[in-house]
Amino acid sequence: MQQYDLEADGLRGLNAALQAQTAGPEQTAWEVLNPRGSHAIAVGLNAPLEVTVRGPAGYYCGGMNQQATVRVQGSAGPGVAENMMSGRVIIEGDASQYAGATGHGGLLVIKGNASSRCGISMKGIDIVVHGNIGHMSAFMAQAGSLVVCGDAGDALGDSIYEARLFVRGSVKSLGTDCVEKEMRPEHLEILAGLLERAESDAKPEEFRRYGSARKLYNFDVDHADEY
Amino acid sequence: MCGIVGLFLKDTSLQPELGSMLTQMLVTMTDRGPDSAGIAIYGAEVPGQSRLTVQSDNAQHDFETLAADLSRALGEPVTQRVNGSHAVLSLSRDKSAAARELIRTLRPDIRVMSDGDVIEIYKETGLPEDVATRLSLARMGGTHGVGHTRMATESAVTTEGAHPFSTGSDQCLVHNGSLSNHNALRRRLTREGIRIESMNDTEVGAGYLTWKMREGATLGEALESSLADLDGFFTFVVGTKDGFGVVRDPIACKPAVMAETEQYVAFGSEYRALVSLPGIETARVWEPEPATVYFWKH
């Protein structure tokens, strides 16, 4: 286990050391001490590392992650796991706005609540939130799954493309072109797998599924005069 | 960008530490706002007395005989405490408005930062740490206070453009964001007799709240109606004589995090601003909801 004191040794040194661990890393387990809400902790990783951040992180923690597992023992600021490609980012506390934004792959787990715009423009990432999510979540979501064990805020899935949304609690309102959909066996199977990987004991049967009505994103020639 | 910090003390034993706690919070927000910094601090009340905080770019010259000149013109004693480019004038409460008018003629270059029973506002351009050092902010005590680090967008980098803004007695506002309907609203508020002295958008926001409260609204009601009447992005933290409030616009792009313990309620634009507070590890920490008014009162 490698230890890195962020307060003493600075952010650039941490990210340089972690990013240097590429093919066949020698040091796979890292512990980041004294994060104190610092920005851009453990970003741009591209190796199967296990990074544990001992305390709250600031903006953009775990951004652009590939392969690595980043676990934050605290809360995370805006843009956690932004544009993640693969790997896992796990937040033990709450996450601020636009968690998992534009993510292409991997799994983001938020054990607390996420704020507004969770999963905005997600492109294949899977996001599991144990608590609630804020307004405008999954806005223009293109692919991947967003699982919410609590409640969702206003305008869920506005202008959504092909991402799957699963919500166990209430949805304050659905965004334009987002509708409730039938939960079929294949969805229950996907959901069960995601919940298990996200260390949640919620039952797939308790969730409802939402997705695109597909009325918005295809150009309809009958509407040509409206432009 | 801009950074906001706020601290409302529940535990009176912390009051002598207010300035040092707030300064530490303010300095962590330097990279959100390196242009200017300011704080409003609410101190101890002296019965029957109120205070005017004034600022001058030529402090030595302007402040030298200011208290004596005011005292002579008012026919009442006025005491003065100089702190760098700022001075706090103490005088009987019923002479406060007259003193404010007199300053305009006696020292036309002086800026009045605040007036009220307990509020003092200090603000300058420059790095927050330098501003805090020049004004010895860390040595101040009080019951509650707010601070701001500015990255200017809507008006010039000047003392007048720095936050907090005060448009009413013991009131202040700090703002992260930008208002887009401030010109029309400034004209309307000026017609209503609200004092607005700069071209800054935030001062219009402050003036709006002052106007609403003058018309009988509570601070909570004024903040509630700001959600309908102000167009733009905002996270506001406001101070009044005995309270401290927070509101964010419905889109809530501008960050905010709050912490509460038995000892205090704290606000920061980011968690970094809160890390040095006592007991933060076990505090209740949360992100204030959009379009929701939060308020604490002594």
Give B153-179 pLDDT, tens digit per residue: 878 899 989 999 999 999 999 999 999
Q: Does residue B265 surpass a pLDDT of 70? A: yes
From the list B274, B36, B240, B261, the residue with the least C-alpha distance to B145 is B240
The answer to whether B290 contacts A116, with C-beta atoms less than 8 Å apart, is yes
The pLDDT of residue B219: 87
The pLDDT of residue A227: 66
For chains A and B, CB pairs below 8 A equal: 38
User: What average pLDDT does chain B have?
Assistant: 95
Confidence class for position B221, pLDDT limits 50, 70, 90: very high
Residue A171 is classified by DSSP as B
From the list A139, A133, A46, the residue with the least C-alpha distance to A84 is A46
Q: Does residue B291 surpass a pLDDT of 70? A: yes
The pLDDT of residue A216: 84
Burial of B165 (0-12, 13-18, 19+ CB in 10 A): buried
From the list B47, B133, B41, the residue with the least C-alpha distance to B93 is B47
The pLDDT of residue A23: 67
Q: Which of A75, A77, A116 sits opposite B252 (nearest CB)?
A: A116
| Minimal C-alpha gap between B216 and chain A (Å) | 32
The answer to whether A97 contacts B253, with C-beta atoms less than 8 Å apart, is yes
The answer to whether B270 contacts A37, with C-beta atoms less than 8 Å apart, is yes
Confidence class for position B230, pLDDT limits 50, 70, 90: very high
The pLDDT of residue A221: 81
Name chain B contacts of A155, Cβ cutoff 8 Å.
Answer: none
Q: What percent of chain B has pLDDT over 90?
A: 94
The pLDDT of residue A219: 74
| Minimal C-alpha gap between B262 and chain A (Å) | 21
The answer to whether A37 contacts B271, with C-beta atoms less than 8 Å apart, is yes
Check: CB of residue A29 under 8 Å from CB of residue A48.
no
Identify the bridge partners of residue B167 per DSSP, sorted by sequence position. Answer: none
- DSSP reduced 3-state for A193: helix
Check: CB of residue B219 under 8 Å from CB of residue B213.
yes
Identify the bridge partners of residue B173 per DSSP, sorted by sequence position. Answer: B165, B238
Confidence class for position B36, pLDDT limits 50, 70, 90: very high
Nearest CA in chain B to A73: B281
Q: Mean pLDDT per segment of 10 residues, for chain A of length 227 residues?
A: 96 96 80 97 96 98 98 98 98 98 98 98 98 98 98 97 97 97 98 98 98 85 76
Is the N-terminal amide bond of B164 cis, ω within 30° of 0?
yes
Q: How far apart are CA B239 and CA B220, in angstroms?
A: 12
From the list B209, B128, B129, B201, the residue with the least C-alpha distance to B167 is B209
Name chain A contacts of B253, Cβ cutoff 8 Å.
Answer: 97
- Is B172 part of the annotated catalytic residue set? no
| Minimal C-alpha gap between A21 and chain B (Å) | 28
